[in-house]
Structures are given as C-alpha cells and as structure tokens.
Amino acid sequence: MREFIKKSMLSLAAVAFCLIAQAQNPIMSTTYSDAEIEQMISAYRSNHSQDCFPPNTLQQKFMQDFPNAFDVEWEMYSNLYEVDFNIQHKDFEAFYDAKGNLIMYSRKISHYDLPAIVKNAASNQYPKYKFEDVKKIFRGSQVFYKIEMEYGDSEVKLIVKNDGVIQKQWFDY
C-alpha cells in the first residue's frame, strides 16, 4: 500500500509539473508566418489602439495560457488584441488575433538570464554599454531578445535571435 501511495504522489507531482510548465510556456499559434506576425505587430504599434473588453472566448483563452496573470489591461486595433499583465511581479505582454490565436508574447527578464551567446553578441557589439532593459520575445516559431543598453547619454536597442545573431539595432536619442 505504501508503494502505491508513493507512486501516486510521484504521478501527481509529474502532472502538476507539466501543467505548470505548460502554463508558463503557452502554445503559440502556427496560423501565421513569422513575417506575417511581424507585419501585424508593426501595423498595430504604428496605429492608435484603444482600451477594450475582449470577447469572453478570448478572455478564457488568455486565462488558459496565463492562469496566474494579474493587473490585466487589454487594448485593440483592427483585429489584433494586446494584453499587458503581470505574473509573479514580472511584466508580460501578449498579442492575440480575433480568433484567440496567441501570436506573440514577451516577458521582462534580467540580463543575467540571457543565454551566453546572446549576451556575448550584444556585449561584443557594444563593449562600453551596460545592459538596461531586456525582454524575451516568443513570436511564432522563434525566440528573440530585445535588449536596451546604455553608455552615458546614448542608448542602443537590439533585437537578437536565440542563436546570437543581431537582427536589428538602432540608437534611441
């Protein structure tokens, strides 16, 4: 009987771990290509979104993807919804289409949590700059990092792929 209870407890722990892991890494939609997602997000950011109350089905999908979210704020432009929220006092941002497909999300991380290849790419490109703000971005099938670095009054922003390749860089004056 003890062996049965022990195995049952281990099975429950494994199921709980899988549910927690899934909740922390929601399933991304494969409806759109990476280029389409980039274009949709770019159009959203270049227009005026409005605060909104999303449909119940979209709210349910969001709560399924991010069950521990709090301080939730929704905005919409065209057929794209942006939701800003917190989980364990970390900033998150997610984008859903009108059908409830999660197309992108990001979370703020410490520069200490950057993969070495990404951190080295940024540091080698801008050796005098210090890390200021970092976001890990899940978009379609890819993982990116948006890194803001400062040196004196100068600030540079980088988009770096998970493999350390710098995709974009620009100075913010």
* 63 touches 101 (CB < 8 A): no
Q: Which two tokens stand for residue 150?
A: 């400062």
User: Which domains occur in the chain, in start order?
Assistant: 27-102 (3.10.450.360), 110-173 (3.10.450.40)
DSSP conformational letter for 157: E
The per-residue pLDDT for 94 is 98
Query: For residue 34, what pLDDT is reported?
Result: 86
Tell me, what's the pLDDT at 90? Answer: 94
Amino acid residing at 9: M
- Comparing CA positions, the residue from 53, 59, 58 lying closest to residue 75 is 53
Tens-of-pLDDT digits for all 173 residues of the chain?
Answer: 566 555 555 454 444 444 444 446 899 999 999 889 989 999 999 998 999 999 999 999 999 999 999 999 999 999 899 999 999 999 999 999 999 999 999 999 999 999 999 999 999 999 999 999 999 999 988 999 999 999 999 999 999 999 999 999 999 87
Q: How many CA atoms, within 13 angstroms, populate the side-chain half-sphere of residue 69? A: 24
pTM of the complete model: 0.81
Q: Would you call 108 helix, strand, or coil by DSSP?
A: strand
